[in-house]
Amino acid sequence: MIVTTVDEVQGKRISNTIGMVKGSTIRARHVGKDITASFRGLVGGEIPEYTKMMAEAREQALSRMIEEAEAKGANAVIGMRFGTSMVMANAAEVIAYGTAVTLEG
């Protein structure tokens, strides 16, 4: 599966546009990580606990988007993007979306 943020793949021709595909996940913060993050917030810098959590959420959303594209018969997703939004206090959604296509060449 080719996944790209651009709208074309060099050397390939789009033979069929299938349509939008997406995958999402909602993650909640963990109380123990919040305590550690609070201490890190006092001195500044990266909060690795949250960095890891968001990276895992992006990977899961991406994987779910790819599964949907494959189920629809696509061999590529073009124009792929990530989005995030707060769902409730201490919980955020991460969504991966793009256009499923069939490439030739």
Provide the pLDDT for residue 43. Answer: 66
CA 50 to chain centre: 16
Provide the pLDDT for residue 94. Answer: 97
Render each residue's pLDDT in the chain as its tens digit; 105 residues.
Answer: 999 999 999 999 999 999 999 999 998 876 555 566 666 566 677 778 788 889 999 999 999 999 999 999 999 999 999 999 998 878 899 999 999 999 998
- How far apart CA 78 and CA 74 sit, in angstroms, is 11
Provide the pLDDT for residue 22. Answer: 98
39-67 burial: b if 16+ Cβ within 10 Å, else e = eeeeeeeebebbeebeeebbebbbebbbe
Could you tell me the strand order of the sheet in which 13-28 lies? Answer: 2-3, 76-88, 91-104, 13-28
Q: What is the pTM of this model?
A: 0.86
Domains of the chain: 2-104 (3.30.110.70)
